[in-house]
Amino acid sequence: MFVVTKEKLARMHVEWNTLDDAGATVTNSFGMKVKLVELDRFEEFIAAFASGRTGSAMLGEDQAEKPPLLLRDFIAEVARDWDGIIDEAKKPFPFNPENLAVIIQQPNFIVGWALSYIKAWNGQSVVREGNSGGSSGAGPAGAGNRQQRLARQSKPKQSGGR
């Protein structure tokens, strides 16, 4: 059965990589509740993502009446809530428009968010390594799985010989 609703909400797992001060890759992640838009709006989002429109649009005389969609504006339009984000004092970083703008400014966030949204829109949930229950990987459980995975990777491999 399919139920038509006024607003289709979904929880998605957002993940993106950055580099730390030593040049090592750091994987950032959290859970976000988003509105899944209808096809026409999704196609506008895909066009914006493909063109790399992230910042302020400058309207020229040759542009259409409607300004192009900017990814930061689309994120603000569809984001509803999040979990798994903390501040430097390790306190929850509340969801609000100002804090969302801070997160959007983070290096490589927009690319990771866009890829996560495309998966969510297409009905693809994320099952991370070590999660058998379909957890999004966000929050303390996801952090524990990441720590376990890192511990496994740091252990020396044993040879298969006699």
Q: What is the pLDDT of residue 17?
A: 97
Q: pLDDT tens for residues 10-22?
A: 999 999 999 999 9
Q: For the chain, give every domain's residue range.
A: 8-56+65-125
- On the question of pLDDT at 45 being above 70, the answer is yes
Burial of 97 per CB tally in 10 Å (0-12, 13-18, 19+): exposed
Q: pLDDT tens for residues 112-158?
A: 999 999 999 999 987 555 544 443 444 434 444 444 444 444 444 44
Question: Which tokens go with 100?
Answer: 């969302």
In angstroms, what CA-CA distances link 157 with 24, 25, 140, 153?
Answer: 21, 22, 28, 9
**Read out DSSP for the chain?**
-----SSEEEEEEEEEEEE-TTS-EEEEEEEEEEEE--HHHHHHHHHHHHHT--S-----TTS-SSPPPPHHHHHHHHEEEEES-B-TTS-B---SHHHHHHHHTSTTHHHHHHHHHHHHHTT-----TT-SS---S-HHHHHHHHHHHHHHHHSPPPP---
